[in-house]
Every structure is written in structure tokens, then in C-alpha cells.
Amino acid sequence: MICATAIAIGLHLGTYHFDRSKEYNEVNPGIYVMCDGYTVGYYRNSYHRDSFYAGYTWEKGPFALTAGAVTGYRRGIKVGGEYIAPMVMPSVKLGHVRLTVIPPVGRVDGGVHLSFEF
């Protein structure tokens, strides 16, 4: 058996950014997979760059917290030409819809991200 629990597959769709004065990319297609809490995924980020991430997701009812690392941003630790940044994302799942709060950190503006999960 690969996963002790069911595998969740999700599609990243888009993000509403709180700072409306900046011209962020708000269409963020991508995909993620969760298996026994381990989470990996890809999306086109708000700066029109590819982001890959890996981490762990703790779930309690409809609420979840994912902590890990993400690429595709110009911050974090530079490893061979690519930056790897820490990631902490709280979310709530409503049916098949997952809303993730992107907390503002430093110069990174916050927002709400929409995903569809199977």
C-alpha cells in the first residue's frame, strides 16, 4: 500500500491579492497531491514564474496547515541558481473547494488562493 489514507489531488486555480495596486498574475494553474499528510505541487505563481513545493499538511476537520518549502520567488536561500523559500499556508476546505490564506510576509503581499480538490 502506498498511502495509509486516501490520496487527495487538487487543482490550483487562482489568487485574489489584497494589494490591488500591483499587477499580480491572479490566474495560477497548477496541481498538487497529498498522501498521508505529505504534500507536493506545482503552480504558475503571481510573478508569472513556475513554483514547485513540498511539505507536510496537518488537517483537523475542514482546517489545514501546510508547512514546507517553495521555489519560484526571488527570496529565500539560493541553491544552484534557484531560490528556495519557507512556506506556511493555512487553509479551509468547503466541499471540494479549498481556500488558502496567503499571509503577508515582508514585501510579499497577502491574498486568498482558490483550489479544487478531488
- Which grid cell sits at 46? 503571481
CA 109 to chain centre: 14
Q: Is residue 38's pLDDT more than 80? A: yes
Long-range own/partner contacts, residues 80-87 (CB < 8 A, 24 or more apart): 87/53, 87/55
**Residue 1 in this model has a pLDDT that exceeds 70:** no
Is residue 25, in this structure, part of any structural domain at all?
Answer: yes
Half-sphere exposure of residue 79: CA atoms within 13 angstroms, side-chain side: 9
Read off the pTM: 0.93
| DSSP secondary structure code for residue 104 in this structure | -
58 within some domain: yes
Q: Say if 86 falls within a structural domain.
A: yes
| Full domain range(s) for residue 33 | 20-117
Q: Is residue 9 part of a domain?
A: no
pLDDT band at 39 (very low <50, low <70, confident <90, very high): very high
Number of domains in the chain: 1
Is residue 55 in a domain? yes
Bridge-partner residues for 83, per DSSP? Answer: 78
To the nearest whole percent, how much of the chain has pLDDT over 90?
83
